[in-house]
Amino acid sequence: MKKTNISKKTFYITTPIYYVNDVPHIGHAYTTVAADVIARYKRLSGYDVLFSTGTDEHGQKIARSAEKANLTPQELADQVVIKFKDLWPLLNIRYDDFIRTTEVRHVEVVKGLLNKLYDKGDIYKGEYEGWYCVPCETFWTETQLTDKTCPNCGRKIEKIKEESYFFKMSKYQDQLLSYIENHPKCIQPEVRKNEIISFIKSGLKDQSITRTKKSLRWGIDLPFDNNHVIYVWYDALINYLTVAGYNIDEEKFKKYWPADINLVGKDILRFHTVIWFTMLMAAGIEPPRMVFAHGWWTIEGEKMSKSKGNVVDPYEMVDEFGADVFRYFLMREVSFGQDGNFSKNLLIQRINYDLANDLGNLVSRTIAMINQFFSKKVPQPVEQKEKHDIELKELALNTIKEYNIHMNNLSLNTALETIWQFIRRTNKYIDQTEPWILGREKTKQERLSTILYNLAESLRLITILIYPFMPVKAEEIWRQLGLESDLDKIRLEEEAHWGHLKPGTLVKPGRVIFPRIDIKKKVIKKMEENEIEIISYDEFKKIDLRVGKVVVAEPISGTDKLLKLKIDLGKEIRTIVAGIRKHYSAEEILEKKIIIVYNLQPTKLRGIESQGMLLAAVDNQNVVLLTVDKDITEGSKVQ
């Protein structure tokens, strides 16, 4: 089937639909931001775009999480879906449709499609005996396992033996292979495609696509056997058809199908090619033009996991750094398709160098000079004969060309790199042409006009190009340039040409677009928020800490809290009264090398002069002495 009704070019892009057993994290944000960048770029290129995202709400994983939370699965889904729906606008994501698999429109499409495959004879009843990973919602056969853990996530798997309906996936093996061969772009990147091809060549088995209601109730009813619910992946993949209007709105479906990109993470590529493509082939529907698998983020070099407590919360990122700079980092830091490493330090470096230094400075210098030398009016340039002018203009045009190539290849980080080369070149142009010096000389006004026009025009082009990545920041720069059109509505074809900026446009100097992040200040802010009193380095230096060895320890009569200790400090022995007896007996503390505050004013406790204080770590239940890691002489300074 070919897309019809081509009054306008159409482009349909999807994100995976996210499980509602958990709140959004950086992985969800990454896919959705990338899809948004591509969708915005395509709108900018004149396409009629359909961009969808949503939530995957059925299956065992959701059922179990709901049970744990003492909620029905639907209640859990209704609560968690809000976390996704609220996040996307905060991340400046502009989708066209948000689909939930529990919606009636979807349930109907799923049932219709399964009926179709059943009528065709591609679904049959049998018995499934094998293994299942609940976190991945994946069936595994004995031969795929090396031990009793999931080959994908490494977690425990469960044995299943029950009646099940199967889809005749094996029947489509050859058709699938030749389809992939004839559509070389349908699975990307190349390395991932090759993995999928070898998986298919190793032999496709028929796919179990239902669970009995005895083992799982939370799913869409199988339309031709009420004792079964549909396997969550078989239901979820169909969301892409539902959104496009399959069996709902034929016009819409013709217009947008096949999907241009199903964007997914590398971990779910197999579902999106093998199960998805064969299901579509069986139904006589053309597969998506491309399934693109992006890589995974590690966090400070480690796998992200709840148990490690290193999950990156996109809400916090937006709060701390702002949506667009977070988007920029995600898109700039790794090449699309590869794995990447997230660290706050890297993020701050990107903000300070790429955004504040390079782009931010270009904006503020350009606007400030037009303000100062031409009372806010973009000046009229004269003919460009100077070498630097010609070079700048040439690079601008080249940048636009290359940018388009990279964006269309989904080399999103290279597209950004290309823009940044132009930004750096434009900053260099300021240094080379020294407009602030020309500004002082009356005779140099023509030259100054040309230079400042060139700067403003370069900045206008840069702003258009960065718009898909940082839509709100781009809008701010656009306004400071005095431009009134909606960036949302402009078209590259009309606007991405040199010389479109009208002389006489009134710039509007505004606030700093990308404030630098001072790491030192951020730490202080955090302490102040937690009401932690800050001391200066000099104050800290005044405290003299020493290692001492407990050589005598005895209880003090009349109290069960205190011990009297003699501490050997090498050149002297000191007495310390310590309120530690509830946690350490005299025998336990004897011989320990501990840390004491050496220059504390002596004080009398129970009639005994205490000549210092020992250090201990304290939480709700424990008091634990600070000792030394290796042996060291008594009296050593702690620095």
Name which position in 28, 100, 564, 574 contacts ligand MSP (CB under 6 A).
28
Contact of 598 with 570, CB cutoff 8 Å: no
Q: How far is the CB of 173 from ligand MSP (least distance, A)?
A: 22
Question: Which listed residue (10, 13, 31, 507) binds ligand MSP by CB under 6 A?
Answer: 31
State yes or no: cis peptide before 258, omega within 30 of 0: yes
Cα distances from 252 to residues 103, 105, 367, 558, 632, in angstroms, run 19, 15, 45, 87, 78
Q: Which of the stretches 259-267, 407-415, 435-443, 558-566 binds ligand MSP when contact is defined by CB under 6 A?
A: 259-267
Task: Tell me the Ramachandran region of residue 607: left when phi exceeds 0, alpha when psi lies from -120 to 50, beta otherwise.
Answer: left
Is position 581 an interface residue for ligand MSP (rule: CB under 6 A)? no
Contact stretch for ligand MSP (CB under 6 A) within 15-23, 176-184, 216-224, 621-629: 15-23
CB of 79 to ligand MSP, least distance (A): 16
| Binding residue (CB under 6 A) for ligand MSP from 265, 287, 471, 482 | 265
Residue with smaller CB distance to ligand MSP, 264 or 589:
264
Nearer to ligand MSP, 19 or 469 (CB): 19
78 lies in the site for ligand MSP, by CB under 6 A: no
Task: Considering only the stretches 261-269, 484-492, 602-610, 625-633, report the one whose residues sit in contact with ligand MSP under the rule CB under 6 A.
Answer: 261-269
- What gap in Å lies between CA 573 and CA 631, rounded to an integer? 19
CA 100 to chain centre: 21
Question: Which of 533, 551, 563 shows the shortest CA–CA distance to 594?
Answer: 551
Could you give the angle at which helices 445-466 and 471-480 cross, rounded to 10 degrees?
160
**Least distance between ligand MSP and beta carbon 249 (Å):** 21
Q: Does 296 help bind ligand MSP (rule: CB under 6 A)? A: yes
- CB of 31: closest distance to ligand MSP in angstroms? 5
Distance between CA 305 and CA 312 in Å, rounded?
Answer: 9
**Least distance (Å) between residue 242 CB and ligand MSP:** 11
Cβ at position 71, least distance to ligand MSP in Å: 18
Site for ligand MSP, residues 193 to 252, rule: CB under 6 A: 236-237, 239
What binding mask, one character per residue, do residues 33-72 give for ligand MSP by CB under 6 A, x or -? Answer: -----------------------x----------------
Indicate which single residue of 11, 18, 140, 453 sits in contact with ligand MSP (rule: CB under 6 A).
18
- CB distance 461 to 396 below 8 Å: yes
Is residue 77 at the binding interface for ligand MSP, with CB under 6 A as the rule? Answer: no
Helix axes 323-333, 26-44, angle to 10 degrees: 90
Q: Long-range contacts of range 271-276, CB-CB < 8 Å, 24 or more positions apart? A: 271/233, 271/237, 272/237, 273/180, 273/187, 273/196, 274/169, 274/176, 274/196, 274/199, 274/200, 274/204, 275/169, 275/207, 275/233, 275/234, 275/237, 276/237
Residue nearest to ligand MSP (CB): 265
Using CB under 6 A, which of 19, 132, 140, 257 touches ligand MSP? 19
Beta 138-140 vs 123-133: how paired, if at all? antiparallel
Closest to 546 (Cα-Cα) out of 465, 490, 601, 600: 600
Number of C-alpha atoms within 13 angstroms, CB side, residue 374? 30
Please, what is the minimum distance in Å from the beta carbon of residue 525 to ligand MSP?
Answer: 28
* Choices 16-24, 146-154, 201-209, 391-399; region in contact with ligand MSP by CB under 6 A: 16-24
| Binding segment toward ligand MSP, per CB under 6 A, in 12-20, 196-204, 427-435, 511-519 | 12-20
| Nearest to ligand MSP of 16, 130 (CB atom) | 16
With binding defined as CB under 6 A, does residue 81 bind ligand MSP? no
Backbone angles phi, psi at 174, to 5 degrees: -70, -40
Measured from the Cβ of residue 258, the count of other Cβ atoms closer than 10 Å reads: 19
Q: Is 16 in the site for ligand MSP (CB under 6 A)?
A: yes
Nearer to ligand MSP, 62 or 367 (CB): 62
Does residue 269 touch ligand MSP according to CB under 6 A? no
> Does residue 457 contact residue 498 with C-beta atoms inside 8 Å?
yes
Count the residues of the shown chain that bind ligand MSP, applying the rule CB under 6 A.
19
Q: Tokens at residue 428, please?
A: 């260099």
Q: Does 76 bind ligand MSP (CB under 6 A)?
A: no
Rounded to the nearest 10 degrees, how much is the dihedral formed by the CA atoms of 450, 452, 456, 462?
A: 90
Cβ count near 225 (within 10 Å)? 16
As measured in angstroms, the least distance from the Cβ of 18 to ligand MSP is 4
Contact residues for ligand MSP (CB under 6 A)?
16-19, 27-28, 30-31, 56, 236-237, 239, 264-265, 267-268, 296-297, 304
